[in-house]
Amino acid sequence: MKSDIRYRSEARASDVESVREIVASTGFFSEAEIEIAVELVDERLAKGLESGYHFLFAEMGGKVVGYSCFGPIPATQSSYDLYWIAVHAECRGGGIGRRIIAASETAIRELGGRRVYAETSGRDQYRPTRAFYLACGYKEEAVLKDFYAPGDSKHFFVKEVPGNPNIQIPYTRNREL
């Protein structure tokens, strides 16, 4: 149920294993990719906001069931990358992913972001992921053929998240969500 989900932005040591479990449960990612997801949590725990990684964790009954990781794109004024968004396989299909992405977009807007970029694989396995981004209002901006491997293109998606034009927040890594 919607009311059962709580969000938090601070990373905890326990999130390392939660992220590993969530990403592994999807069946989409290799061991190397799972380790990258975990490394981002480790980086945030070690460096705090200086890491450049922001997280949003969705919890149900005290357990992390999904999360997103995003951050400002260096050398841009207001563009953000959505690095990861994942929901535990046991919880998929209930709209949690849509709520996490919407909450992430709100956080990005509050941080001064105006455009969110997401990328994913072109393999058939990722068709639902690409459909998810489109259903959440993202536009497919570009496709790089054979990027990951022969026959595995990289798809770029973008969404405008306009905020108050009077707010000019310079690129910073020291503002909490």
- In angstroms, rounded to a whole number, what is the distance separating the alpha carbons of residues 83 and 138? 15
Residue 165 domain-assigned?
A: no
Domain count, the chain: 1
Structural domain boundaries, residue 74: 2-113
Q: How much is the average pLDDT of 96-111? A: 96
Residue 151 domain-assigned?
A: no
Residue 27 domain-assigned?
A: yes
H or E segment and range at residue 130? helix 127-135
Q: What is the pLDDT of residue 55?
A: 97
Pair 117, 134: CB distance under 8 Å: no
Q: How much is the average pLDDT of 127-141? A: 96
Residue 170 domain-assigned?
A: no
Confidence band of 162 (pLDDT split at 50, 70, 90): confident
Residue 25 domain-assigned?
A: yes
Q: How much is the average pLDDT of 100-119? A: 96
SS3 150: coil
Q: How much is the average pLDDT of 12-27? A: 97
pLDDT tens digits for 44-58? 999 999 999 999 999
SS3 120: strand
pLDDT at 166 over 80: no
